[in-house]
Structure formats: C-alpha cells, structure tokens
Amino acid sequence: MKYYTKAHEWIEVSGEIVTMGISNHAAAELGDITFVEIPEEDDSFSQSEVISVIESVKAASDIYCPVDGTVSEVNDALEDAPEIINEHAEGNGWICKLTVTPPVDLSDFMNEADYKVFLNN
C-alpha cells in the first residue's frame, strides 16, 4: 500500500525497508524529466531533508526524504533513463529504498483516497 506526502512523494513500507519516489501527479506536473540526482547508498537522511533533485524541461524540483533512514538501494536505471519516472512514477520510477527503524509513523501520510482528495482541493 502506498502512502503520500503533501510534497507529492510516495512511500511503500515493507518491514524496515521504505521504497520512495514521486507521485504520478508530480511527474505529470514536472513534464518531461531530463535528469535525476539520486542519493548515494549508505547516506543517512532526516525526514524533510532534500534527498534528490529532479530536473525537467519545466523546472528543477527538490525531493524530500519522507522518513528518517539510510539509503540501502538506489534506482540506477534513472541515471541513463530519467524518463522512467514520467512513464512509471509509482512503479519502476522509484528513486531509492531506505532502511528505517520500524515501525514507521504513518500519521503524517495520506492513503491513496486521501491523496486524491488533497489534489482536488
């Protein structure tokens, strides 16, 4: 199950691993993505710290770490094919996986239904 932030990042939690990326909505708003700065494995981030930068034909956007964690895996495919995010933002376009100390506090996140309501307001 995916959870969303007001800054349009998504997460999926599986035990101590959190996979993160940007939402389909964010990818559509950015337009054609031309570059993704991915974090380094073993780097640690605090919640709300900039973890990535995505550049598109329209703008450059900071991507914020949705949870406190350490990068355990990055999506290397984005280096050569950043457009994967445009095609599959909430699938193969994930940015990185973080190792966290469970349980993750999901109280600051929206489920898919709540996120859709948020987008329509």
pLDDT > 90? residue 56: yes
- What confidence tier does 15 reach under pLDDT thresholds 50, 70, 90? very high
Using the predicted structure, report yes or no on whether residue 103 has a pLDDT greater than 90. Answer: no
Q: What is the mean pLDDT of residues 7-28?
A: 97
Let me know the angle formed at the C-alpha of 22 by 71 and 82, rounded to the nearest 5 degrees.
80
Report pLDDT for 53: 98
Residue count (the chain) = 121
Mean pLDDT of 73-91: 98
Enumerate the domain spans of the chain. 2-103
How large is the average pLDDT for residues 32-44?
98
Q: Is 92 helix (H, G, I), strand (E, B) or coil?
A: coil
- Helices then strands, counting H and E runs in the chain, come out as 4, 9
pTM attached to this predicted model: 0.95
The dotted CATH code for 2-103 is 2.40.50.100
Identify the DSSP state of 104.
Answer: P
What's the pLDDT band for 102 if we cut at 50, 70, 90?
confident
Mean pLDDT of 1-8: 97
pLDDT for residue 45 is more than 90 = yes
